[in-house]
Chains A and B, each alone.
Chain A
Amino acid sequence: MRGYFDTLKVIVLIAFRNLFASWLKTLIVGGIILFGSMLVVVGTALVDSVDASMSRSIIGSVAGHIQVYNSKSVDELAVMGDFRMEGADLDQIDDFKVMRAALLSVPNVKAVVPMGLSGAMVPAGNTVDVVLEKLRDLVRRKQAGENMTVAIESQKDHVRQIISVLATDIANVGKILTDKAVAPEELAAIRRASAPDFWNEFDKDPLATLEFLENRIAPLASDADMLFLRYVGTDLTAFAQSFDRMKIVDGTTIPPGKRGFLFSKWIYEEQVKLKTAHRLDMIRDAILKRGKTIAKDPDLQRWIKQNSTEVKEIMLQLDGQQTADFRTKLQRELASQESDVSKLLSEFFRVDDGNVMRRYKFFYDELAPSLTLYRVRVGDTLTIKAFTKSGYVQSVNLRVYGTFAFEGLEDSHLAGELNLMDLVSFRELYGFSTPERDREIEALKVAAGLKEIDRGNAENEMFGAKPALADQPAVAAKAVTNADADAVLRGLAGKNKREKREDQAYDPAQLGQGVVLNAAVIVKDPSKIRQTMADIEAAGTKAGLTLKAIDWQKASGLVGQFVTMIRAVLYISVLIIFAVALVIINNALVMATLERIGEIGTLRAVGAQRRFLLGMLLVESLAVGALFGGIGSALGAGIVAILRMVGIPAFNDIFYFFFSGPRLHPGLSLSNVGIALAIVLVVSGASSIYPGFLAMRVSPRQAMQSDE
């Protein structure tokens, strides 16, 4: 044993002396290894930390630990990052009651939240429509005898303002493109509305003129954006309990047993807020939270440009009085003599690093109170029209109760992409039956005189057993009269009104049963997710359900794959670096071997076995690997420690989600360093194989440098 140790000592000695002898080569090779191991430590620590924080984001926002859905579904469930508008095509689970019981029978399952995911385009109102609606209301009240003259004049003023804004717009289109780019009927409509005697016409026949304005002028104002909303229909109470990062920002949650809609605060700001105001918010946040400057950041410059060119949105909202008011305020603020408010607004929004905070404050203090900042306000009713699973359009009116966000993920697009609605409304929009609808359909059947017949008897039922076709009624049904049908339909209309009055209540018991598409499962012990998934599927089979359980990472779709992707990129980079290192170390050792052929031959001649030489080269490369790999890992650990202290800021909202907050404080685990050292040693070892092979082939004859 001692002999082995002494031999090893001489091997190490020779190896180290060789390393020192060619120190420059050693430094170059060592430098690569150092960088590689540092990258592995920092990279894996960062990826692990992002993985952990992202899992907190995903699990805590909507996915839960596990998502369960019908295994017969065509698509895979993707809670986030699914590009399909209507969401994945999932087969329904008929009775949540059975599913819930099955899931709760698994010991590690803590809570089950029923869900359904879908999306719809929602019209969010047109400023012109709103103004015209108001005018129509005033006209109606005047016709009813109220004194509305002043109010009507003011509102007329607003419409006049709108028409002038639209006329300018159309003229600009004509200028920029060609006159042909403007549809002749649009031009004719705007000319008519701008004509001096148009308002005389209005005074003569207000309703007909309003109709013209509504049909011809309102569509020209293209601010009637459709909102595309993705939503989760769920049991709001269970959802709030299971996802405890959820908090209400504006308004209230949907009261139990009530139908309703909750906007994600992020979507609410992004899509519903007046765009100019939202851009101002973003500019301010970028400066205050992320230290950007207008002078340097192209995004900020773009937003400023958009704000100063897209003032129409604000102009359309202003009536005559407000226009005058804005003019005075803006002239004072900007110290300008300009009388055109749209030009003043343009100038006002052209902010720079020096005045942006002052203008922001001025906007919210002086201008915003006169503006409708949100197209849909808390308390408004939203008409959601969605395609059902079978393809027809279904619409539901839902009251907007408020907005919500997930604590710590307020600025994250990914966490804020989904809105919430009650499960019952979701079922209706998705085309599933509810008890009320079943009753309604039954009533309609009665009203229409329909009778259910089975396929085998269809012919007999429809045409009779005998061929006397003419004698048989085309539809076999109980005799119904028009009067009956009218009664039923009147009943339905009455019921609809009643529903509205009751604020669309439903029986909360419906949440615990009926159709769902998927369910989020919160587990007690997150380290046992794999086992719990298997248990869930088994419990499903036992209950006669075809359940598929997927973990949060898979459920989150593309987003969840992000870490896997980053990890792949990291590993590929590491692979490339170490492949280069391997080649370089290999070459260096090959060179060293070739330079030392005489010495190797001598060692062989004086009795060194081949494995001695292999050992020598192995020790040589392992020593370099261990030394520089060790230094690199230590440096990497130091960098991670510093990053942990300082925190890595989330550059944008996507990173905000990945970091589960504004900063990532990465942690270091032993495995990060272990992996780095293992890779380094394997690469070092592997790179000595070929030189070792060469060295072993050196003949002891090489030592005999003679004249032959």
Chain B
Amino acid sequence: MTLNNVEKLTHHPSTEWQTMKYIVSVKNVVKNYTLGHVVVPALRGVSLDVAAGEFLSIAGPSGSGKTTLLNLIGCVDTPTSGDVALDGKHTGSMSERELTRLRLNTIGFIFQSFNLVSVLSVFQNIELPLLLQRSAGSKERRTRVEALLDRVGIREYEGHRPSELSGGQRQRVAIARALVTRPQLVLADEPTANLDSVTGTNILDLMKELNHTEKTTFIFSTHDARVWSYASSVVRLADGQLVDRVSAEEAVRVGGVGDLQGARTT
């Protein structure tokens, strides 16, 4: 595959998407980590546009750069070079504070390990981003949190602490927390990795449903080929580079990216 081909692949295959607004626009992003004296490249010039309303999966084996790419899109990390724009705003020039505000107002996060605040109840965990926003009054917060509790089906657990919940229930809390601020974009890092397959499927169903009903853009990373079918399209990464961007059906048909990884590992 030539570089030109890769460049082409970064754009959405369907012409339908090209007229749509890009919520995420990643341009030629490089990310290197320095470990002692060794520079380890995590992303080697990745470009990617994500249109609003997509349910995009970033696929690839361990070490392919999925999480790094999500970190950069989620503004929790900054690229070594290249540009990341969220909803048309270039993040490179933003201060730490502005980035934090951007995360709070624009992005919802779902983590592989759920990352709930253990000392807060389910309700309080979901309410937390609203409290950080300081825009909604307590009544509105309660309404929104309760609506989401109903939506993700854990209303009866609102007073429980995360430690009292199962993995699937915890991830539902995390999803509710990610959605409570009504973000334009939800980033999910391996959301099903710590769940059994049935629960994982349920979670993906829930995410997909919310993608439809709330029109929220979802980007989730996974190395599990079984969940690709949920995605509107799949971006496949290997060895820090974007391999291709295909429809879910094609991704499922083509299968894993192990061959690519094998060819590119340095």
Cβ-neighbour of B138 out of A6, A598, A703 (below 8 A): A6
Most chain A Cβ neighbours within 10 Å, of B42, B70, B109, B177: B109
Asked whether any CB of chain B lies closer than 8 Å to the CB of A602, the reply is yes
Asked whether any CB of chain B lies closer than 8 Å to the CB of A4, the reply is yes
Asked whether any CB of chain B lies closer than 8 Å to the CB of A21, the reply is yes
A21, B119: Cβ atoms closer than 8 Å: yes
Asked whether any CB of chain B lies closer than 8 Å to the CB of A2, the reply is yes
Q: Which residues of B contact A490 (CB under 8 A)?
A: none
Nearest CB of chain A from residue B126's CB, rounded to whole Å:
11
Asked whether any CB of chain A lies closer than 8 Å to the CB of B36, the reply is no
A606, B137: Cβ atoms closer than 8 Å: no
Shortest Cβ distance from A20 into B: residue: B119
The A interface is mostly helix, strand or loop, or mixed, namely helix
Most chain A Cβ neighbours within 10 Å, of B62, B77, B131, B137: B131
Asked whether any CB of chain B lies closer than 8 Å to the CB of A151, the reply is no
Cβ-neighbour of B135 out of A3, A601, A699, A700 (below 8 A): A3
Cβ-neighbour of B63 out of A602, A603, A704, A707 (below 8 A): A707
A604, B115: Cβ atoms closer than 8 Å: no
A701, B77: Cβ atoms closer than 8 Å: yes
Asked whether any CB of chain B lies closer than 8 Å to the CB of A373, the reply is no
Asked whether any CB of chain B lies closer than 8 Å to the CB of A708, the reply is yes
Could you tell me how many residues of chain A have their Cβ less than 8 Å away from some Cβ of chain B? 35
Asked whether any CB of chain B lies closer than 8 Å to the CB of A608, the reply is yes
B97, A605: Cβ atoms closer than 8 Å: no
The B interface is mostly helix, strand or loop, or mixed, namely mixed
B105, A607: Cβ atoms closer than 8 Å: yes
Cβ-neighbour of B104 out of A3, A7, A20, A606 (below 8 A): A606
Given A14-B119, A699-B77, A707-B67, also A604-B100 (CB < 8 A): yes
Asked whether any CB of chain B lies closer than 8 Å to the CB of A200, the reply is no
Q: Which residues of B contact A2 (CB under 8 A)?
A: 137-138
Report Cα–Cα, A707/B223, bound state, in Å: 10
Chain B window 94-138, contacts with chain A (Cβ cutoff 8 Å), 1 for yes, 0 for no? 001100110111000101110111111000100111011111011
Report Cα–Cα, A369/B258, bound state, in Å: 120
B117, A708: Cβ atoms closer than 8 Å: no
Asked whether any CB of chain A lies closer than 8 Å to the CB of B189, the reply is yes
Asked whether any CB of chain B lies closer than 8 Å to the CB of A72, the reply is no
Nearest CB of chain B from residue A108's CB, rounded to whole Å:
59
Asked whether any CB of chain A lies closer than 8 Å to the CB of B74, the reply is yes
Nearest CB of chain B from residue A619's CB, rounded to whole Å:
13
A704, B103: Cβ atoms closer than 8 Å: no
Asked whether any CB of chain A lies closer than 8 Å to the CB of B71, the reply is yes
CB within 8 Å of B: which A602-627 residues: 602-610, 612
Given A707-B62, A708-B67, also A605-B132 (CB < 8 A): no
Given A703-B109, A704-B189, A706-B67, also A3-B134 (CB < 8 A): yes
Q: Which residues of A contact B103 (CB under 8 A)?
A: 605-607, 700
Most chain A Cβ neighbours within 10 Å, of B62, B111, B190: B111
Asked whether any CB of chain B lies closer than 8 Å to the CB of A10, the reply is yes
Chain A window 1-21, contacts with chain B (Cβ cutoff 8 Å), 1 for yes, 0 for no? 011101101100110011011
Q: Which residues of A contact B221 (CB under 8 A)?
A: 706
Shortest Cβ distance from A16 into B: residue: B119
Report Cα–Cα, A703/B97, bound state, in Å: 18
Q: Which residues of B contact A599 (CB under 8 A)?
A: 115, 117-118
Report Cα–Cα, A558/B63, bound state, in Å: 76
Q: Which residues of A contact B124 (CB under 8 A)?
A: 10, 13
B115, A703: Cβ atoms closer than 8 Å: yes
B132, A7: Cβ atoms closer than 8 Å: yes
Asked whether any CB of chain B lies closer than 8 Å to the CB of A178, the reply is no
CB within 8 Å of A: which B169-207 residues: 177, 181, 189-190
Nearest CB of chain A from residue B93's CB, rounded to whole Å:
19
Chain B window 130-154, contacts with chain A (Cβ cutoff 8 Å), 1 for yes, 0 for no? 0111110110000000000000000
B76, A607: Cβ atoms closer than 8 Å: no
Given A703-B76, A704-B111, A706-B67, also A606-B128 (CB < 8 A): yes
Report Cα–Cα, A703/B190, bound state, in Å: 13
Report Cα–Cα, A18/B120, bound state, in Å: 10
A607, B101: Cβ atoms closer than 8 Å: yes
Report Cα–Cα, A608/B115, bound state, in Å: 14
A-B contact pairs, 19 of them (CB 8 A): A3-B135, A4-B134, A10-B128, A13-B120, A599-B115, A602-B111, A603-B117, A603-B128, A605-B74, A607-B103, A607-B105, A609-B132, A699-B76, A701-B76, A701-B77, A703-B111, A704-B112, A706-B190, A708-B66
**Which B residues form the contact surface with A (CB < 8 A)?**
42, 62-63, 65-68, 70-71, 74, 76-77, 96-97, 100-101, 103-105, 109, 111-113, 115-120, 124, 127-129, 131-135, 137-138, 177, 181, 189-190, 221, 223
**Interface contacts beyond A10-B128, A606-B128: sample of 12 additional A-B pairs, CB < 8 Å, sorted by A:** A6-B131, A10-B120, A20-B119, A606-B104, A607-B181, A610-B96, A610-B100, A701-B77, A704-B76, A706-B66, A707-B223, A708-B62
